[in-house]
Amino acid sequence: MNCNKKTVKDIDIRGKKVLLRCDFNVPLDKKTGEISDETRIVSSVPTIKYLLEGGAAVIACSHLGRPKGEFVPSMSLKPVAARLAELLGTPVKMASDVIGEDAAKLAKELKPGEIMLLENLRFHKEEEKNDPAFARKLADMADIFVSDAFGTVHRAHASTEGVAHYLPAVSGFLLAKELSELGGALNNPKRPFVAILGGSKVSDKLGVIRNLLEKADTLLIGGGMAFTFLKAQGKEIGKSICEDTELDYAREMMQKAEKNGVSLLLPVDAVVAPEFSADAKPSVVSVDSMPSDQMGLDIGPMTAEVFAGSIKNAGTVIWNGPMGVFEFPAFAAGTIAVAKAMAESGAVTIIGGGDSAAAVNQFGFADKMTHISTGGGASLEFLEGIELPGVVCLLDK
């Protein structure tokens, strides 16, 4: 996939109406309806300010939650419009619909330097179906399409891919940074290139492992998924999570690593407990002597040391998936050790969204990382080498 795409800086925006796809899919407090994490709104501000100050009229749009094509008042983007207005220091006109009379009227009257926000795109089932007529109505409001929602570019929806059939399409600053950092790390990494994969399931990362074994120098595997690999080696894994359907795949990947000269490192010890609980009593065991009545809930201290050593000498590190159940303090040490090693390394360090992003934020290492991806599913598909429809549709430089 070509990541060298035109950005807002490569086109004339003065006097133009810009349809801007943002990722305002923020968590709302169930009781108060207030925004509980505004990171995604804050990260959209640089592109919006650039467009407004450059004399464009901005028609922002996003989805929020999963209303499944129904108008669900609790999933309205009204709270987002209010917070965005505070962050920008300028009014944000809120449309009561998406492609209806109110949206069309506001868009038509919108002047350069002004911004409006359409209601939740997913109030229309046509959005996720990438319906051409729906995409056309969105596009008809504007002169240019700017995509700045990396978290949605792996989906071919009307607002991510469909509108690009009717408007010149470029990226905003947030999406451009994702393409530059992730694309650079995968296609032209500073070596040694170390990839770290964790999380509970191998099945979530089948294509990612396969692709990284073509590109990385070292692959570190922790988290629950490591136990599928350990069982594939014939080791006792007790009550640890395991996908028996993926044992052959794990063996195949270990052979592939050997054939490609990639160092594939698995845990040598684990922090175990009798049950999955925050209060469970942890103990450390070698992976060669796992008790049958225990389950692995984190990588052990020796593994953490080995992994940290690989990271210390790396030129590029990409990390996706925690090393253990970091939400439970007793089983967070492995994830903390990896985050700390990355923060202290001189490498280009990239966090692939999702739980890894949550972990580095929680443990205070976020500001030490080169890049933290804003898209969990999108960054996974990017690492897998899949062409993302919301990127392919943008104009090449």
Crossing angle for the helix pair 354-362 and 376-384, to the nearest 10 degrees: 120
The pLDDT assigned to 39 comes to 87
Distance CA 138, CA 145 (A): 10
Q: Which of 98, 90, 67, 64 is nearest to 79 (CA)?
A: 64
Separation CA 17–CA 144 (nearest Å): 7
Residue 374: what pLDDT?
Answer: 85
Residue 390 near residue 161, CB atoms below 8 Å: yes
Q: What is the pLDDT of residues 86-126, one digit of tens each?
A: 999 999 999 999 999 999 999 999 999 999 999 999 999 99
Phi, psi (rounded to 5 degrees) for 141? -80, -15
- The single-letter code of the amino acid at 208 is V
The whole-number pLDDT of residue 11 equals: 97
Contacts for 370 with CB less than 8 Å, ≥ 6 apart: 181, 348, 349, 350
Distances (CA, A) of 218 to 232, 243, 266, 313: 20, 23, 11, 11
Residues in the chain, pLDDT under 50:
none
pLDDT, tens digit, for every residue of 343-384?
999 999 999 877 899 899 999 999 999 999 988 789 989 999
Domains and CATH numbers, the chain: 8-174 (3.40.50.1260), 181-384 (3.40.50.1260)
> CB-side exposure of 205: number of CA atoms within 13 Å?
31
Q: Which amino acid is at 320?
A: N
pLDDT of residue 284: 98
Q: What is the pLDDT of residue 313?
A: 93
The catalytic residue positions are 40, 201, 354, 377
